[in-house]
Amino acid sequence: MSTIGRRLSGKYRSPLRDSLILQAFFLFVSWLALDGGMMFRYSLLVLAPNWALILLIILRRPTEPTPLDLKVVRFGYLALWILLPGVSLLVGPLID
């Protein structure tokens, strides 16, 4: 089914705004950390999978998002920010 011509639901407006605010807050606080920029780079690294996930959700259900979709859009950055170090510890030895 083509998504061309379908409009984006207004239900995404608030979660997208909250997500941008949360990301800006984390980027600002991590930028202030005195660790040589490691936390800031990590916070920037988490942006890519987060926005890929948001884009996937919006492309799958542009007009009727589920409550879970809206929560993932709103808090996905926080979840990825917490989970990504654990995943990298598990996957890192497999790559080496």
- pTM, two decimal places: 0.80
Give the pLDDT confidence of 28-55 residue by residue, as tens digits: 999 998 888 888 888 888 899 999 999 9
Average pLDDT of the segment spanning 43-70? 94
Residue 17, both tokens: 């705004």
Decide if 85 contacts 41 (C-beta within 8 A): no
In a domain, 4, yes or no: no
Decide if 9 contacts 65 (C-beta within 8 A): yes
Structural domains counted in the chain: 1
In a domain, 33, yes or no: yes
> At residue 54, what is the residue type?
I
In a domain, 95, yes or no: no
Instruction: Tally the residues of the chain.
Output: 96
Q: Which domain holds residue 61?
A: 10-90
In a domain, 1, yes or no: no
CA atoms of 47 and 27, how far apart (whole Å): 10
State yes or no: pLDDT of 22 exceeds 60: yes
In a domain, 96, yes or no: no
CA atoms of 91 and 94, how far apart (whole Å): 5
